[in-house]
Every structure is written in C-alpha cells, then in structure tokens.
A and B are shown apart, each in its own frame.
Chain A
Amino acid sequence: MKIKRYTLFSLLLIVVLLLAACGGNTTDTGDTGNTGDTGNTGDTGNTGNTGDTGDEMMEEDPWGYITFAPGESIKLAVSSALAGGYAVYGQDMVNGVELAIEDFGGELMGFPIIVEAGDDGCEGAPAVTVAEQFSADPAVLGVIGPMCSGSVFPASDIYAGNNVVMITPSSTAVIITARGYQNLFRTVANDDLQAEVTAGFLAEDKGVTTLGIMHDQSLYGEGIAQAISDKFEAGGGTVTAFEGITRGETDYSAVISEVLAGEPEAVYFGGMDAEGALLINQLRAAGFEGIFFGPDGIKSKPTFIDASGGAAEGSFATFGAVAGAVGAEDWATRFAEKYGDPVAYGPGSYDSATIILQAAEKVAFLDADGNLKIPRFALAEMIRATPYEGVTGALQFTETGDLAKVSITVFEVVDGDFIEVKTVDFGE
C-alpha cells in the first residue's frame, strides 16, 4: 500500500512538474510574443508580401532561427571530457576553439563570441545531458564535439532533433555519419578507411596472415576492431582472436594470454593510448615479438610511446589527415605559446570552430529591431557548401557530413617518435 501511495505521489509530482514546465514555456512564448509583436506582424506581412514582391523577402528557414538581442553573447559550445582520464584531450579542444574565436576577431557583427564547455567524460549518458543543455540554450550557435564516438552517437540524436549544428573533430566511427543527419559534420576520416589501409598494410607490406584483435569495448574501439577484422578476413587473412578489455584496469595479461594462445603474427588493438601503452608493454612481457598496430586513438607520443617504457618501439598506428594545410606551422607556434603544444584535436577544433563562424557570418542578418538572426538550416547548408582551407588541411564536406577528400597515413614508432611510413589518399 505504502509503495502504491509513493508511486501515486511521484506520478503526481511528475505531472505537476510537466505542467510547470509547459506553463513556463507558454509564458515564455507569451513574453516574446509581447515584445516581438512586430515580429508576429512581420510574419503575417511576409505571407502577404510574397504575393506582391515575391523574391524580395527571405524564405522562412525550415529549422528556425538563432536570435540574439543586442548585447547578448554568441556561444560556441564544446562537448568533451573536461575531467577524468581523457581531460587532456578535452582541454585541447577548448583551447583550439578559444584560439579560433580570437583569430576570428572575438565578435560577429558586433555580438561578442564566447566558449561554453560541457563535460561529457567521453561517455554516452553525460554527453546526452550536455546535448540537452546546449540544445535548450538559445544562445548556442553550434557545437564542437563530442570527442568520443561513444558520446557522439547518442548526443547527435539530441542535436539533430533540435537542429543544432555540430562538428566533431575526432569521432571516427562509421555509424556516426551513416544516419542521414544534416546537422552533423566531422573533420576526420571515418574508420572504414583506417581499417582498409591497416588491413592492406598488414597483409601486403608486412605479409601478415594471422592477426589477433583486441578492443576496449567502446563504440570507437570495438567499431574499428570489427572493421579491421572484416577487411583483414576479406583479404584472405585469419583472425585468431577477437577479445575485449576493460578500460581503467592495468593488468591485461590474462586477456593477452588468451589472445597469444592463437599464436598471431600481429596484434591489433582498437582503443586509446593509455590502454595501448599497457597492452604493448604486457604483450612484450608475455613474450610476443610480432607487430603491434593501433588506430588514431593510440597515436600520441606522451601517452602511448613514453608511457610504454620503451615497449612501443616498432609499433604502428594510422592517423587520418587532409592535404593542403594552410600555415599549420605558424599556427602551431602560436597555439604552443598560449597553451603548450597541441595534444591531438586542438587543430581540428580550431578548424571546426572557424568553419561554423565563417558560415554564420555569411548567413547572419540583423532584423528591424537590431537583433542578430542566424537561420539554422541555412547555416548547416553553408557549412556543407563552402570549401575551407585550414590548419588541418583543405576540408570539404559531403552530403553525409564526412570529408570528401582525406588521406590515411601509417606511422611507425622509431626511436621514440612516430615516423610516416605510407600514405594512402581517398577521394578525388
């Protein structure tokens, strides 16, 4: 009985809260209706006008407008890991966006631009919370991030539902751009391409016929591990093991023993640098002498090579890049002076932020009351339509939001640093 009363009470509470929320909304629209009466009449005037002058009036944007009253700040939002193990990447992204805003001049048509960072911890659920918060904020122009595919995947549903433009500088999972979202872009190659190059390199250049595969059970890690497995088997190779490890642990020797039981010539790890460093160290300690290969997630000197105690020597990693970078060296120097060397996604975040700002500048206009208005759909289309030359290269998006042109480079660890071994170009 008691439980029932509680259920009833909580249901009541939910209803009350819902009502309160709705009430808030209606009063809100009522408010804007009051102050923006002219806007309303403008609308009706619009429909009236189309009959008369036709082309003169702008067509209503199907996704609506982002409106800034005079004096309001435009927010560029960053969703990334700001605390915890991957915070170093998140801070890198925030730094990139900050520098982009500074280089853009700090304002758009007299409206100041600021960074708003949200911590998604490289996880799905917090990324959704951040996405809901950003989507509900009427001053958010666009979102840079989330960083990890596992957070982009659920968060992009929210951004798409609210027509918020997002560019991720780092999420490579294939599925991300396979869902037909028009608000979503990424400045990195998708994992299919990394997998194709990796499988080809292992089989043809290194003559590997048996491959043991490990992954970190994340959307990103398991996704690319699966793609590698498919491509490698399609090329005639044998996958001897496909095993997952748990992020945050330190001793993976039990899983390694299982993988090495199949005596693979090479081991691939789909995952991030910290676990990669532990794995290569423990693989060598377990007597493995073959090739160790990983995706872009492990291509970090301080957290993979230096953290492996020398065991990473001779390992391979792929990284997607774009040709035609403009002023990258000069940019890196300026970035380093302010924040220290970029870690990984700083340049991509810089470009993503600049792309959004430049597109916004082209589609933004002031209405009769001096409010800055940015049409959401036109913003997304402008981002898609405009070729851009930035510090990561010449970026041009396709219909799905993927890059039209991209190259994947295979790196080898030689004398404690990544050395380019081979580059494969995709796209025209």
Chain B
Amino acid sequence: MEFDFTRFAEQLINGLTVGSFYALIALGYTMVYGVLTMINFAHGEIFMMGAYIGLFSLNRMVDAGLYERSPITAIILTFLAGMAGAALTGVTIERLAYRPLRRAARLAPLISAIGISIFLQEFVRILPAMGEQVMGLRIAGNPIFPPGWQEAVIGVLEDFGGVQVKTYPGIFTTDGFYLGEVYVTYSRVIILVISMLTMVGLWLLVKFSRLGKAMRAVSEDKDVAALMGINVNRVISQTFLIGSALAGLAGVMQGMFYLQIRNTMGFVPGIKAFTAAVLGGIGNIPGAMLGGYTLGLAEVIGIQFLPAIYKDVVAFGLLVLILIFKPTGILGEALTEKKM
C-alpha cells in the first residue's frame, strides 16, 4: 500500500479531535482517583448531563431571542450553563452517593457509582413520563395540580429529556479551509483550541493555586492534609466540581459540533476516557491529557493499516502493551501501599 500523506494528515486531525474529548473526560476520572482512589463510573453520565443542561439553556436563549441578537454570547452562556450543571451534578453525587461510603469497603463506592450511572441515564429518559405521572396525581378524585400546570410542566420536562435523541441547533456549519491539501473544518479548530486552553488552565490551577496545592496534599495523604488544616471534604467537593465541569464542557462541545445527544451518550466516551486515564497513569493530571491524545491517535493510525472494525482492538492492544511494560501508565508513579 502506498503511503498517502494527505490521508495521514487528515487522520491526525481526526485523532486529535477525538483525543480532546477523551482527555477532557479522562481528567475527571484521574482527579477523582487522585483524591479518593476510587473510579467514578458515573463520570460518563455527568458528561451527558452537561450536554442536556447546555441544550436546555440554549433552547431558552433561542426562545428569548438572545441567540438571534448575539450568538456568541449565547454560545458562551451555553457552555457555562452546561459546565455549571455538570459541576452541580458531580458535587451532588459525591455528597449523596460517595461521601457516606467513604469509610466503607473499597467496592461499595464503586457499586454506588455504577448505580448512579444507571440512575442518571434512566432519569433523563423517563423524566417527561415521570412528570406526567406526578402531575396526574389525584386525591379523592380531584387533581392536585391545576389543569394548566400539567401541560406547562410536561412541556418543560420534554424539552429537557425523554426517550428521543435530542438535537442541538446546527450552529457550526461544515465550512472550513484547506491546510495544504487537507480540508479542516472550523469546528475542529475550535474544539482543539477550547480543549487545549482549558487543559493548560487546569494545569496552572493545580500547579500554582492554593486549591491546587490542597488537592495535591489530599491526594498524597488525607489524614496528614487534615492535620495541616486542610478541609478535606471541601477539597474533595471542589475536585468533583472541577472534574465535572470539564466533563460538562466536553458534553456541550459534543452537542454543538456533533449535534446529537441522547441519554446513553456517556457510556462509550466514559469507557474510552477511563482507558485514557489508565493509559496516562491514573491519578496523574498531565497523564490523563497525554493518555487521551495517545488513545485518539492510536485509534486513527491503527485503522489506516487495518479494517476499521479493528479500531478498538488497536487502541486497547496499545493499552495492554503499555501496562505490561509500565504497569502504572505512561506518566504514573508507583503507588504507595496506602494509596492502593
């Protein structure tokens, strides 16, 4: 087979785009693992919630005419709403489902996470039906809620969730430019720029801010950190907040650039991002970024030489190989006995 440079370059850009999503989501896995040594399997669903909350706010802004007047403001507000919604979801999950289990056996929070993951998926799906049931409640034959409410409430809930695939309005077209012979859409450039800026920002935050220092201290040793006057619970909450906001950002981005969102959309990216986090060394923040891009690139480079159905085989094969030779991942340091 002749080497086709244009196609190779095209695939590199494809890989970087997918890798950006993996990296953004992987950061949440790795940060939570860093402070709690647990895998938050509901993280993919936080990503999904970000996409749904973002779309819901965007629809409100379209209704209010804000989108018409100033699309850029509306888009930025959509991102902020998605991130805030995802962050709130993440922090709530931590408070309700993980904190009570912090002293429990290691597997308990894991099972709790899987439960939350299923709960969120189905919650979004049945929300309109649930609203219909609740609004239709009667006491002694009389409806509890006034008749006008029912339609209003169900209308809002249907706008938020439901069984059907939801669609973001097509804001970004398929327009683009030629980089040499390679066609690059503007949306890809935006995805890359947003992700990379966010990750640099996060890295600076962890490295240089007080919160970052506290997070690193908690991940080193919770008890000693507490003795040093760090409010461990608050740091854990803040970690969830930041990790979930990143997933929310990825969720809104997915909706804006790929248009479709659905309640099961978190599963595959969740698994892939978890893989990326392990690949880069779980618990290590630059590792998660590196792992995300490595996985994205491995997928696209693999299928240039093998049929496309082997894409995941190549990616996971790479994971196995790396873990054989470096069991802690690319950038992972050896875990201490306590962290295990």
Contact = CB atoms under 8 A, between A and B. Distances in A.
A302 B254 contact: no
A152 B327 CA distance: 42
Nearest to A92: B163
A274 B308 contact: no
A243 interface: yes
Interface stretch (B134-142, B225-233, B264-272): B264-272
B269 to A, nearest CB: 8
A311 B174 contact: yes
B309 A217 contact: yes
B21 interface: yes
Interface string A87-113: 110010000000000000000000000
Given A83-B122, A83-B125, A251-B21, A243 B307 contact: yes
Interface string A258-293: 100100000000000110011001101111000000
Nearest to B8: A257
A24 interface: no
Interface string A297-327: 0000011001111110000000000000000
A308 B111 CA distance: 37
Interface residues of A, number: 39
A245 interface: yes
A88 B307 contact: no
A248 interface: yes
B259 A258 contact: no
Contact of A253 (B17, B163, B262, B309): B17
B17 A251 contact: yes
B265 A250 contact: yes
B10 A257 contact: yes
B160 to A, nearest CB: 16
A277 B122 CA distance: 23
Interface residues of B, number: 44
Interface stretch (B34-42, B54-62, B97-105, B298-306): B298-306
A257 B14 contact: yes
Contacts of A55: none
Contact of A87 (B11, B125, B254, B267): B125
B164 interface: yes
Nearest to A84: B264
A273 B187 CA distance: 23
B309 A285 contact: no
A281 B125 contact: no
Most chain A beta carbons < 10 A, residue from B264, B303, B304, B312: B264
Contacts of A248: 264-265, 267-268
Interface in B228-260: 254, 258-260
A307 B165 contact: yes
28 contacts: A83-B125, A84-B121, A84-B125, A84-B264, A85-B165, A243-B307, A243-B308, A248-B264, A248-B268, A250-B258, A251-B21, A254-B11, A254-B14, A254-B308, A255-B303, A257-B11, A257-B300, A258-B303, A261-B7, A274-B260, A278-B258, A285-B174, A302-B164, A302-B165, A303-B164, A306-B167, A307-B167, A309-B259
Q: Which 9 residue pairs spanning A and B have beta carbons closest together?
A: A309-B170, A244-B309, A243-B308, A285-B174, A254-B300, A88-B163, A248-B268, A255-B308, A253-B14
